Amino acid sequence: MLVKLIKKGAEADIYTGMWNNSKSVFKIRKIKNYRNSLLDSKIRKQRTIKESQILSQVKSFGIPSPLVYFINLEKSMIVMQEIPGKSVHDLSNSKIIGVSKEIGKLVGLLHKNGVMHGDLTTSNFILFKNIIYMIDFGLSQNTIKPEDHAVDLRLIKEILNSAHAKIMESSWKNFLLGYKSIVGITYQTKIVKLVADIESRGRYAQVV
């Protein structure tokens, strides 16, 4: 098995290589020495299971995601289809504005089906052949709580605000258009209100 390291993340290392003649990504969660080793292996196993389950589950909602080929819990490794596109984070400003509505729709589909992503950044969407794929479900949860869904929106809004500041307004507007088209105006209004609540609490916390 010939693999090549492509990304060293905080939590996992990402390798690419072949798996049964398919170009694949190997996501391997790293041992954290600062954690008690029993607890650490439990957390890594748990997140590996959760991520592989949700990667498959979201397909039934109509969300494009990598196919899961194999998991090895001892190594906390997931072998999945490689999506050989470009991370939305690395797209040009005009393209990010263009895909924001579709991203909003995908997040709407996720929430409508009772799942929160947990790490909703532009690096966790890949554009390939005009299709947006969602990845990185290690922190996902099955939840229908509006407060949890608001946490997702608040994070992506924050990322657009910081990493993509020049296009914040148009991409956020498009995101919300897409989101609303799936969850409906009543739910969207409720979540946006909760996002504003979280934001004002954040500002207040900074002042004191």
Ligand X SMILES: Nc1ncnc2c1ncn2[C@@H]1O[C@H](COP(=O)(O)OP(=O)(O)O)[C@@H](O)[C@H]1O
The stretch among 93-101, 104-112, 119-127, 156-164 that binds ligand X (CB under 6 A) is 119-127
| DSSP calls for 87-125 | EGGGS-HHHHHHHHHHHHHHHHHHHHTTEE-S---GGGE
Query: Which stretch, 77-85, 147-155, 171-179, 183-191, contacts ligand X (CB under 6 A)?
Result: 77-85
Six token digits for residue 77: 């490794």
Number of residues that bind ligand X (CB under 6 A): 19
Is 102 one of the binding residues for ligand X (CB under 6 A)?
no
Report the half-sphere exposure of 77 (CA within 13 A, side-chain side).
Answer: 13
Q: Does 124 bind Mg ion (CB under 5 A)?
A: yes
**Shortest distance, position 14 Cβ to ligand X, whole Å:** 4
Q: Which of 40, 119, 136, 197 is catalytic?
A: 119
Please select the residue that binds Mg ion; options are 51, 82, 102, 136, rule is CB under 5 A.
136
The SS3 assignment for 184 reads coil
119 is catalytic: yes
Which of 97, 135, 156, 167 lies at the binding interface for ligand X (CB under 6 A)?
135
Residue 66 contacts which entry, ligand X, Mg ion, none (Cβ below 5-8 A, type-dependent): ligand X
Q: How much of the chain is helix, strand and coil, in % rounded to 5?
A: 55, 20, 25
83 binds ligand X (CB under 6 A): yes
The residue type at 46: Q
Q: Render the burial of 23-57: b for 16+ CB within 10 Å, e for the rest.
A: ebbbbbbeeeeeeeeeebbebbeebbebbbebbeb
Positions in the binding site for ligand X (CB under 6 A):
7, 9, 11-12, 14, 25, 27, 66, 80-83, 87, 123-124, 126, 135-136, 138
Active site residues: 119
Positions in the binding site for Mg ion (CB under 5 A):
124, 136
